A and B are shown apart, each in its own frame.
Chain A
Amino acid sequence: MMAELNPAAQIAEAAQQVASKRNRLLSTPALVMITLFGIGPLILILIYSFLKAAPYGGVEWKFSTDAYLNFLFQRDIFDDTLQFSPDYLYIYARSIGFALITTIVCLFIGFPTAYFMATREPAQRNWWVLLITIPFWSNLLVRTLAIMFIIRDEGLINHILIWAHVIDKPITMLYTNGAILIGLLYSYLPFMILPLYSSIEKMDFRLVEAGHDLYANKRQVLWRVIIPLAKPGIIAGCLLVFIPAIGAYVTPLILGGGTHLLIGDLIAQQFGSGRNWPLGSAQALILMAAVLVALFFYVRNTTGKMTHG
């Protein structure tokens, strides 16, 4: 037997349907953008990575897995056999290493900074946030070049040190791993500080008092109360630093001087002087896959730990 429908309920349901249809309509611009400029290029890259490289750049429309084979192996010019070649893997490992170090150092610098900001007077906090975001007002390339001028042999630091008679020959800082690291730290530190700040700022500081009240000293309160509560910010900050740092292009190129190849640079080469678009596409996809896998485990582990205290 069918229940008699209440007319008021019918009207409400109809209104809800109209409302949800309208809401779906609101998301169309975003969906069009994502499809056209997000998913579209990704599919294109996926297709390119399974095609043959044309001799002067671009692709030949013939199916081939060469790009993926070339990533791990090198074809011997004489007998056409494949030989394992870990060159690209080294570059990937180096990039991951740089990104990891950058993330960890950013976390160690960023956490105290964010904590300091979040514990200021509310009126003062906005000024600190403004200061942190000032670097975004100018172009990354310009800022990276500015670092170059500071650390190069005739740069600010060496000038001051020589003038103060601390050293008599300039210390070479530019075009070293250290220079790349400084550049990456400088570029991505705000991406660590801001999410940390927002999660610490939201924290109820009476919980800190409660911790002290229950015999936890400062270190114990930090580890048992503050850090677990700031965890969403720590996760967000680490992702926001690690992911762009692993594919960083401009910073390693300028400050590393092209001698210390990283993934971003490597991929760019394939589309430029390397004239091997399928290989570049394959490298980009492998990077993305690696990041996604790492992300999956990272998020699963960190959120898992949270529910177990």
Chain B
Amino acid sequence: MKAKKAAIEARGVSRVFAAKGQQAVAALDDVSVTINENEFFTLLGPSGCGKTTLLRLIAGFDFPTSGQILLYGEDIAVLPPFKRPVNTVFQNYALFPHMTVAQNIGFGLEMLGKPRTEIDARVSEMLALVRMEELASRKTSQISGGQQQRVALARALAPKPKVLLLDEPLSALDYKLRKDMQIELKRLQHETGITFIFVTHDQEEALTMSDRIAVMSKGKILQVGSPHDIYDRPAVRFVANFIGETNFLKGIVRPSGKVKLAAGAEIEAVAPEGAKLSGEVTVVIRPEHALLVKPTQGKLKGVVDNIVYFGTDTHFHVLLDDGSEFMVRQQNSGGAAADFAKGDKVGVQIAAGTARILKD
């Protein structure tokens, strides 16, 4: 694999908010992360996890309490935002209401002191890129939310930033538009070749768009990896729980390396590097990696407690013998669907190699 160049590097970055008369809160706690050039990198986490704080530190709207932020090797942590070759797409777009679409897009270039002809050319180019040519002279209050989003993107991309920061830019759009914009964003990133740092709390958005994801909680980065890594190989409980739906099962590691589950069965489970392989552990199994079968065929046994129909698939909530709940997701493929009713005794089969032991 060829060596990747780091676009942004955070080294031991902390940001402590100390309000008068209140306990100091660390929004970011000793965070280190490397974001590569040309990468679609997502900071994912629930609200208050510090993802937006990290983004603001990179943009320059806020400054770290300690630590370094490197942009292509140069420490930018104390530079004001207007001296950083980094642009932001704001959550509510923050378009200038007193300017037209074209004036908004040209603003950054104008502030950089570019000649008028160059600005005009670049603005037309940007308008074409986001397919907004006809609306160039409209006021930003006269265009729809999706169009405002495109203008915000064009405005941030126009000065050719080294890194583009996106602060939950799709959260204000409705579902259909959001789906379209996800594809649009991927296309723009591909066409411009600019490093995107994308902040979201929407795991689906993160999985579908990112090259790599950093999952954050309480001011710390818990795991960094590709969407596959994060989804299939969660390292810690928080990541497994936050991304997708998961079954957590308690068990004890046997000398053979297999895990004896509290619910009865003994199964094979993969352990990440650094996980303890003795004593009590937690095993995670994704609902779609399990299959409902007749009680005699499954390792785990239980009773169907609830059935929730989702259209594309059906969720079966099974009460296992030890009283813990286990969810199985079955796709409604139209074929011979598993036909179980509430109260049925069932067995649960687990696909080989899908059960994982967590670090904590």
The answer to whether A binds B is: yes
Q: Please report A residues at the B interface, Cβ cutoff 8 Å.
A: 204, 206-207, 209-217, 220, 224-225, 228-229, 231, 306, 309
Other-chain residue from B59, B94, B98, B155 in contact with A309 (beta carbon distance below 8 A): B98
Given A207-B94, A229-B97: A214 in contact with B61 (beta carbons within 8 A): no
**Does B111 sit within 8 A of A, measured CB to CB?**
yes
CB within 8 Å: A-B pair count: 66
B155 contacts A214, C-beta separation under 8 Å: yes
CA distance in complex: A111, B225 (Å) = 50
User: Are the CB atoms of B159 and A215 closer together than 8 Å?
Assistant: yes
**Which chain A residues border B96 with CB–CB below 8 Å?**
207, 210-211, 225
Interface of A is mostly: helix
Partner of A210, one of B60, B83, B94: B94
Once A206-B94, A210-B96 are accepted as A-B contacts, the answer to whether A217 and B61 lie under 8 Å apart by CB is no
Name A204's contact: one of B88, B94, B156 (CB within 8 Å): B94
A212 near B82: Cβ-Cβ < 8 Å: yes
- A and B contact pairs by CB, cutoff 8 A, 28 listed: A206-B90, A206-B94, A207-B94, A207-B96, A207-B97, A209-B61, A209-B81, A209-B90, A209-B94, A210-B88, A210-B94, A210-B96, A212-B81, A213-B61, A213-B81, A213-B82, A213-B86, A214-B82, A214-B107, A214-B108, A214-B111, A215-B82, A215-B83, A215-B112, A216-B111, A220-B111, A231-B98, A309-B103
Does B14 reach chain A (CB closer than 8 Å)?
no
B87: which A residues are within 8 A, CB to CB?
A: 213-214
Instruction: Give Cα distance in the complex from A161 to B99, angstroms.
Output: 52
Q: Which of B89-109 contact A (CB under 8 A)?
A: 90, 92, 94-100, 103, 107-108
CB distance from B19 to the nearest CB of A (A): 10
Interface centre among A204, A211, A215, A220 (most CB of B within 10 A): A215
Interface size for chain B: under 10, 10 to 19, 20 to 34, or 35 or more residues?
A: 20 to 34
B193 at the interface (CB under 8 A from A): no
For the complex, give the distance between the alpha carbons of A306 and B95 in Å: 16
Q: How far is the CA of A206 from the CA of B89 in the complex (A)?
A: 11
Establish whether residues B88 and A213, one from each chain, have CB atoms under 8 Å apart when the complex forms. Answer: yes
Query: CA–CA, A228 to B103, complex, Å?
Result: 14
Residues in chain B near residue A210, CB distance under 8 A: 88, 90, 94-96
